[in-house]
Structure 1
């Protein structure tokens, strides 16, 4: 974020009553934490995506060769 955008945000928040400022800050903390969590999941998924694709291909191959069996969810 550019420093101009941060400056605008600070000015907007400073214009609010102090109780509301505290609420805004708390919401921003939660929002930023959610964004960071999403970034971590995206990075993790992109690192494992090729492994997931390979596993799907193996499963499809085994199914086509008749090696796959139906999973009994009742026994889990």
Structure 2
């Protein structure tokens, strides 16, 4: 099915004037690049999500125990 969809897209593109084809191809490149970035971000987030959850639990526990400190954003 994927090959059929790609073939359909190619036929549609071929029916357009060259200038429109170029604009559409550029949009597709940008869209694909954005999609790849989003996929990489999701993969990275999934790998670190458990660590982020654990860090949040520790911070919450420290705050509850009165061990939390205000963050000085100028020192970051």
Show the counterpart of 1:41: 41
Show the counterpart of 2:67: 67
Show the counterpart of 1:58: 58
Distance 1:75 1:36, change over 3 A: closer
CA RMSD in angstroms comes to 1.5
How many pairs are equivalent?
76
The Cα of 1:58 is off from its aligned counterpart by 0.2
Q: Distance in 1 between matches of 2:75 and 2:33?
A: 39
Q: Distance in 1 between matches of 2:22 and 2:48?
A: 39
Show the counterpart of 1:4: 4
The Cα of 1:74 is off from its aligned counterpart by 5.8
Which ranges of structure 1 fall in alignment gaps of 5 or more residues? none
Q: Distance in 1 between matches of 2:61 and 2:9?
A: 54
Q: Which moved more, 1:48-57 or 1:1-10?
A: 1-10
Superposed CA offset, 1:40-65 (max 9, x none):
00000000000000000000000000
